[in-house]
Amino acid sequence: MSSALPFRTPIDLHTHSSVSDGTETPTELMRSAAAAGLGTVAITDHDSTSGWADASADVALTGVTFVPGMELSTRHGWRSVHLLAYLFDPTDAALTGEMARIRDARLTRAENIVNRIAVDYALTWDDVLAQTTDGATVGRPHIADALVARGYVPDRSAAFESILHPRNGYFEPHYAPGPLEAVRLVRGAGGVPVIAHPATRGRDGVVPTDYLAKLVDAGLFGLEVDHRENTPDGKERLLELAAQFGLRVTGSSDYHGAGKPNRLGENTTAPEVLEAIIAEGRGSAPVYA
Ligand code: AMP
Ligand code: FE
Ligand code: FE
Ligand code: ZN
């Protein structure tokens, strides 16, 4: 189906740059998107919009449409829930206040994790800072990269499966708002909220139906169904829930450069869904070539 809007296909609405835990700068990411044959890409760094300006500046050169986005950290009880947000106002005081609070909490928490690891391994906080860019949203992937640099593990995935795994006792969570509060904040800033990879824990791990109903009432737009970490039975359940609640369905790569095996464009979003996102987004606009 062709669109009346000037964006191009294929469309990948979930990627990370070095502003958070991706390994490419926003500029490099735009060029990778062009090289991968994408027509439209959203940069959705964790809890930050610092990549938007450089990505926007590259649209004329690459011809790839840029959709401003973010992946906001939230928590429901013990479980981490990631909320994708598109086309919100990056200066909205309530939302930026919460983003700053999360990024600060992530720093303290990462230092605590490193201090515990340092009892058993030669690892310093400076090792971790050396793996981040200035002002980046710091996370376990940067600790993983520091462990790779020290030669303890071959790559990020191995670090997550060994030293960084919660069962080893170094892990701790960080502050994050509840999903319901996060959906309200995103909508309050004119944005369009979509739950990221909601079925990584399978059919029975999907957010409970009564709680999902509350998120829908608060303005949830959609569910990211086509994502490599959603299980097959979990995707089936998500499609049932989307039909039941009138939610839209997205697909995306969750590209992290060299930090994860996910490749740009390995999953994509239908043009009519992006049209609906643009119709509802009031805080910022896509940058067209
Ligand atoms: P954090 O938000 O600090 O708890 O770290 C979670 C981040 O780590 C997620 O955003 C993922 O991108 C990344 N991550 C989780 N598991 C893996 C893995 N097995 N390999 C590489 N990156 C991972
Ligand atoms: Fe990530
Ligand atoms: Fe995520
Ligand atoms: Zn992500």
> How high does pLDDT run on average in the chain?
97
Atom of ligand 1 nearest to the CA of 174: 4
Atom of ligand 1 nearest to the CA of 143: 3
Atom of ligand 1 nearest to the CA of 21: 12
β-pair type (222-226, 11-12)? unpaired
Cβ atoms of residues 17 and 245 within 8 Å:
no
pLDDT at 4: 79
**Nearest-CA residue for atom 21 of ligand 1:** 157
**Nearest-CA residue for atom 11 of ligand 1:** 141
- Residues facing 226 on adjacent strands: 251
Q: Could you give the angle at which helices 209-217 and 179-188 cross, rounded to 10 degrees?
A: 20
Q: Please compute, for residue 17, the number of CA atoms within 13 A of its CA located in the half-sphere on the CB side.
A: 28
227 lines ligand 1 (CB under 6 A): no
Residue 11 has pLDDT above 70, yes or no: yes
140 lines ligand 1 (CB under 6 A): yes
Give the distance, in angstroms, between the CA of residue 179 and the centroid of all CA atoms in the same chain.
14
**Nearest-CA residue for atom 9 of ligand 1:** 141
pLDDT digits (tens, 9 = 90+) for 67-107: 999 999 999 999 999 999 999 999 999 999 999 999 999 99
pLDDT digits (tens, 9 = 90+) for 222-246: 999 999 999 999 999 999 999 999 9
Question: What is the phi-psi region of residue 55: left when phi exceeds 0, alpha when psi lies from -120 to 50, beta otherwise?
Answer: alpha
Tokens 């690459």, residue located: 62
Cβ atoms of residues 24 and 262 within 8 Å:
no
139 lines ligand 1 (CB under 6 A): yes
Atom of ligand 1 nearest to the CA of 16: 12
**CA separation, residue 220 to residues 12, 95, 245 (Å):** 20, 16, 10
Tokens 């969750």, residue located: 254
21 lines ligand 1 (CB under 6 A): yes
Q: DSSP of the chain, one letter per residue?
A: ---SSS--SSEE--B--TTTT-SS-HHHHHHHHHHTT-SEEEE--BT--TTHHHHHHTHHHH--EEEEEEEEEEEETTEEEEEEEES--TT-HHHHHHHHHHHHHHHHHHHHHHHHHHHHS---HHHHHTTS-TT----HHHHHHHHHHTTSSSSHHHHHHTTTSGGGS---------HHHHHHHHHHTT-EEEESSTTTT-GGGSPPHHHHHHHHHTT--EEEEE-TTS-HHHHHHHHHHHHHHT-EEEE---B-GGGSS--TTSS---HHHHHHHHHH--S---B--
Q: Which one of 16, 131, 260 would you pick to mutate in the ligand 1 pocket, going by the greatest count of ligand atoms within 8 A of its CB?
A: 260
pLDDT at 1: 47
pLDDT at 3: 64
The pLDDT > 90 percentage for the chain reads 98
Global pTM reads 0.98
Give the distance, in angstroms, between the CA of residue 144 and the centroid of all CA atoms in the same chain.
18
pLDDT digits (tens, 9 = 90+) for 173-216: 999 999 999 999 999 999 999 999 999 999 999 999 999 999 99
